């Protein structure tokens, strides 16, 4: 389940024990799958321990400070490496997978200089700009946020880089151990990348680049959005150039980044808060089948605001949230941070 459903369940039942007890009936009532028995939880925790990693829950004191204000935060993360890096000043660097030689050199130079200046570099271990940023900042500290489980090395070409980051930096994942990343995992990964950093640098992003999603997420988190300008004739720079036109900070080197981050900002999350359960009627166990079907029919693979789903289904926002919890447990829906939901595919 996603973080929205996790905290909705705690809100609905008041504690984890009662929520766990209710899970099987909630899933089956929505026509879904049989959930894993609790024994699998112990097995996964043992696998993580044997791998040399650890699970940190959002309620624990050593959970990264930068992620705590999220609405909602990841319920738990799996980490491998030097967790003290979480508390250092950090900058995210992301960009094109099929980056040009010039873009790669810029990523290396900026990452190395920021690392020497005391910043931790955060990125997503992807090909291109991400990989260059990680490699150039190994000696100063780098954080790689994965879409899959902590043990899923993707792309496979980064196996050596993965091992070096595990030894000198931190690997972070919100996904369960053994999970292979799918498309829906990358928005969650991007949310952590930008959330851990004071600002995000975009180097070579096409018009439909995933890096632009990171820029939007960073804005919601009130992080500084910076971009390196590129040729207007280069398709790989169309998205980053548009960000500059819309107000992103133009940067050319590490000095520009440090100057941009020197202006104090009040870090306030701007993403909408997911709806919570409010009245006894919203928590009634006997939800009419017609309401469940109305929400299910309104869902599509494209994420949409939960309040829009409630309008289409003709029900209250909190009741829609209750139904989405059951549909997600059944494997039919998926909820995203920011009050969005989509059909699970």
Q: Are 324 and 341 in contact (CB under 8 A)?
A: yes
Do 289 and 232 lie in a common domain? no
Do 252 and 288 lie in a common domain? no
Residue 342, pLDDT above cutoff 60? yes
Residues facing 117 on adjacent strands: none
If one counts the domains in the chain, the total is 2
Given 236, 261, 286, the domain boundary residue is 261
Residue range 113-131: mean pLDDT, rounded: 96
Beta-strand (E) ranges in 118-270?
A: 120-123, 142-146, 170-173, 199-203, 224-227, 249-250
Domain that holds residue 216: 80-261
- 38 in a structural domain: no
The three-class DSSP label of residue 57 is strand
Residue 222, pLDDT above cutoff 50? yes
Do 110 and 249 lie in a common domain? yes
Do 144 and 13 lie in a common domain? no
pTM for the complete prediction? 0.82
pLDDT in tens, 261-300: 997 654 444 444 444 444 444 445 578 889 999 999 999 9
Instruction: Specify the CATH number for the domain of residue 10.
Output: 1.10.10.10
- 310 in a structural domain: yes
Do 22 and 139 lie in a common domain? no
Least confident of 50-59, 139-148, 318-327, 334-343: 334-343
Residue range 37-63: mean pLDDT, rounded: 88
């Amino acid at each position: 389940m996603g973080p929205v459903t996790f905290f909705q369940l705690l809100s609905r039942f008041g504690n984890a024990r009662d929520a766990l007890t209710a899970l099987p009936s909630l899933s089956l009532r929505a026509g879904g799958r049989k959930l894993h028995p609790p024994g699998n939880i112990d097995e996964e925790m043992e696998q993580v321990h044997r791998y040399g990693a650890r699970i940190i829950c959002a309620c624990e004191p050593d959970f990264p400070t930068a992620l705590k204000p999220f609405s909602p935060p990841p319920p738990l993360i799996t980490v491998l490496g030097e967790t003290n890096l979480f508390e250092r000043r950090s900058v995210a660097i992301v960009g094109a997978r099929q980056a040009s030689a010039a873009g790669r050199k810029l990523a290396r130079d900026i990452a190395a200089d920021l690392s020497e200046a005391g910043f931790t570099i955060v990125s997503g271990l992807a090909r291109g700009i991400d990989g260059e940023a990680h490699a150039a900042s190994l000696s100063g500290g780098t954080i790689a946020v994965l879409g899959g489980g902590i043990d899923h090395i993707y792309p496979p070409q980064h196996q050596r880089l993965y091992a070096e980051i595990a030894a000198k930096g931190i690997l972070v994942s919100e996904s369960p151990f053994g999970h292979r990343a799918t498309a829906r995992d990358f928005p969650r990964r991007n949310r952590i990348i930008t959330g851990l950093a004071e600002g995000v640098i975009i180097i070579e992003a096409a018009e439909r680049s995933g890096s632009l999603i990171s820029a939007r997420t960073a804005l919601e988190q009130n992080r500084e959005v910076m971009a390196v300008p590129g040729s207007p004739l280069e398709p790989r720079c169309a998205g980053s150039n548009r960000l500059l036109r819309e107000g992103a900070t133009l940067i050319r080197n590490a000095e520009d980044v440090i100057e941009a981050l020197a202006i104090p900002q009040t870090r306030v999350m701007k993403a909408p808060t997911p709806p919570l359960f409010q009245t006894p009627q919203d928590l009634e166990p006997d939800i009419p089948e017609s309401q469940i079907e109305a929400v299910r029919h309104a869902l599509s693979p494209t994420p949409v605001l939960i309040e829009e789903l409630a309008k289409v289904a003709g029900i209250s926002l909190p009741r829609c949230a209750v139904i989405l919890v059951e549909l997600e447990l059944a494997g039919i829906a998926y909820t995203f941070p920011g009050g969005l939901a989509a059909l699970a595919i």
